[in-house]
Amino acid sequence: MSSISLAVTGAAGNIAYALLPRLGELLQDTETTLSLRLLEVESRMHALEGVVMELEDCAFPFIDEIIYTSNAEEAFFDVDYALLIGAMPRVQGMQRSDLLKANAGVFKEQGTALNKVADRNCQVLVVGNPCNTNAYLTMRFAPDLAKKNFFAMSMLDQNRAYAQLASILDISINQIDNLCVWGNHSDTMFADYFNALLDGQPLIEQFRKKEVLLREKYLPTVASRGSEVIKMRGSSSAASAANAALDSMIMLIDKNPDYGMFSIAICSSGEYGAKPGSIVSYPCQFDASGSLSVVSGLTHNDFAQGKLDASFAEIAQEIAQVESLLTTL
């Protein structure tokens, strides 16, 4: 038997509640189990204990042990993967700058703890928003861990992009490939339908007459989907976010080139004009050796490049904002 140690933060929250019972989907065989490390703030430990009781009552054979704690170093000790869900949630009317400020201290602390005690090859996926900047903060305060092992989740944006494109064009999701999102997890994200395929052929060539619809309705619908969910539910996405986190973790663990192109935010080396060192969503893929890289050679017209530039600039601006906040923390 082999075991994978996985830390999950915000473990008593809505996203984790939807995610934890599905973690068996991460494993390819019954010979591998999970050692779960669940982290919450002290005020939520009572609720977390209830979550642990439910996990125990499910009698999942894939869970080898559950450690739950409010101590980050205990949660992250020697972990293989860290799934950082816990963050100050975005609520209706909250400005993005407020969210940046509220979460800066949280991810500084978690990055410091990971740097101190996590396995040196630990891979870190940040879900808590604003996830690109939170991932940057975590990476910044974990300098002894490889920058290539820090990610922010953009799979939720990709899943939304697939669903909305299928709906607007009246096609099946199964017909679409290579539809990825670029940039920041914010209203500036760009769902790149220009490089998407429909039944293996360029999608845009088959829907040229609907390009105005795609620009003026499709892109804003994808970008504002999270805000619309908040308006309807009164809180941010939970089940869909958990599903996207699971999709992302499966890919990071399997490292299978057969997944093809998919969206994930990584530490940029300046690809396509982004600020080096920032966390940027790109179309990525694994090679045969399991190495992840940005898909190269994709072309963009002036409209698409303008969208990319705007999102890259916003990420750089948010980094500058949190760097100035760090002096007060």
Of 19, 7, 86, 14, which is closest to residue 55 (Cα–Cα)? 19
Annotated catalytic, 300? no
Angle at 180 between CA 177 and CA 183, to 5 degrees: 175
Using DSSP's 3-state secondary structure scheme, residue 17 falls into: helix
**Residue of 140, 185, 225, 307 marked catalytic:** 185
Task: Report which of 40, 110, 107, 108 is spatially closest to residue 69, judged by C-alpha positions.
Answer: 40
| Joined tokens for residue 95 | 């400005």
CA–CA distance, 72 with 293 (Å, rounded to integer):
30
What are the φ/ψ torsions at residue 282 (nearest 5 degrees)? -135, 165
Q: What angle do CA 303, 304, 306 make, to 5 degrees?
A: 65
Point out which residues pair with 36 in neighbouring strands.
6, 66
Read off the tokens for 181: 């999102």
Are 320 and 97 in contact, with CB atoms under 8 Å apart? no
Catalytic positions, please? 185
